[in-house]
């Protein structure tokens, strides 16, 4: 079977990182060679850009700068890691991809979706995940989880509730528009219940 590209998405505190290891193990147990990565990041240059994007600063970053940095990191990610892995027959599992930009920079920041789509078409040449797992839960629960980590918050995590409500709405609309690719996971359930949902979905793609 041709190698697949899977992305996982969701607002802050949705539990993506917790379930990443489960997804990786499930695929590995089914004889898939997995390349696990993340966005922004995934490459040396991408990780440097990630630091620029996530580190809180006293001076706000222009929204266009944020958008272009996201795609700069993504272009490097695709050319240096994702495409080579897929060509070698490895399945790729990425914590976030382009849907995050539509949700965060489009929904959250208010950048026109057409502008984002144009840049995506230019930099990615049609590449998109074969499957996107959208971990969805109410914003209030997500924020409680972030605060319970007792860690410092990054530049995005310190945003207001309204910002994340817009992001969540955008994610859900994208899932509604592309139900074959984007599968919504009820991330407010227990870890075991979430893994049951994941197993059902993943069994259809392996």
Query: Per the structure block, which two tokens stand in for 166?
Result: 């817009």
Other CB atoms within 10 A of residue 126 CB: 6
From residue 143, alpha-carbon distances to 57, 132, 170 in Å are 21, 22, 18
How do residues 113-158 score in pLDDT, each as one tens digit?
999 999 999 999 899 999 999 999 999 998 888 878 777 778 888 8
Collapsed DSSP state (helix, strand, coil) of residue 67: helix
Collapsed DSSP state (helix, strand, coil) of residue 119: helix
Evaluate whether the domain defined by 5-202 bears CATH number 3.30.70.141: no
Q: What is the pLDDT of residue 4?
A: 97
pTM of the model: 0.94
12 or 91: which carries more pLDDT confidence?
Answer: 91
Phi/psi of residue 31, each to 5°?
65, 30
Domain boundaries of the chain, sorted by first residue: 5-202
pLDDT band at 159 (very low <50, low <70, confident <90, very high): confident
Phi/psi of residue 160, each to 5°?
-75, 165
14 or 170: which carries more pLDDT confidence?
Answer: 170
How do residues 92-118 score in pLDDT, each as one tens digit?
999 999 999 999 999 999 999 999 999
How do residues 33-84 score in pLDDT, each as one tens digit?
999 999 999 999 999 999 999 999 888 899 999 999 999 999 999 999 999 9
Q: What is the pLDDT of residue 19?
A: 93
Which residues contact residue 57 at a Cβ distance below 8 angstroms, ignoring those fewer than 6 apart?
A: 155
């Amino acid at each position: 079977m041709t190698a697949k590209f899977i992305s996982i998405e969701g607002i802050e505190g949705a539990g993506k990182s917790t379930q990443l290891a489960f997804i990786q193990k499930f695929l590995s147990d089914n004889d898939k060679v997995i390349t696990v990565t993340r966005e922004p990041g995934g490459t040396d240059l991408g990780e440097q850009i990630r630091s620029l994007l996530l580190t809180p600063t006293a001076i706000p970053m222009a929204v266009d700068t944020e958008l272009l940095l996201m795609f700069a990191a993504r272009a490097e990610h695709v050319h240096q890691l994702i495409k080579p892995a897929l060509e070698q027959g490895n399945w790729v599992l990425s914590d976030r991809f382009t849907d995050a930009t539509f949700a965060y920079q489009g929904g959250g920041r208010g950048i026109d979706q057409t502008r984002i789509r144009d840049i995506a078409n230019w930099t990615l040449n049609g590449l998109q995940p074969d499957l996107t797992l959208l971990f969805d839960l109410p914003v209030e629960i997500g924020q409680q989880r972030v605060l319970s980590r007792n860690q410092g918050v990054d530049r995005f995590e310190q945003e207001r509730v309204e910002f994340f409500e817009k992001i969540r709405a955008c994610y859900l609309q994208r899932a509604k528009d592309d139900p074959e690719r984007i599968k919504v996971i009820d991330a407010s359930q227990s870890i075991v219940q979430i893994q049951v949902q994941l197993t059902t979905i993943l069994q259809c793609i392996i």
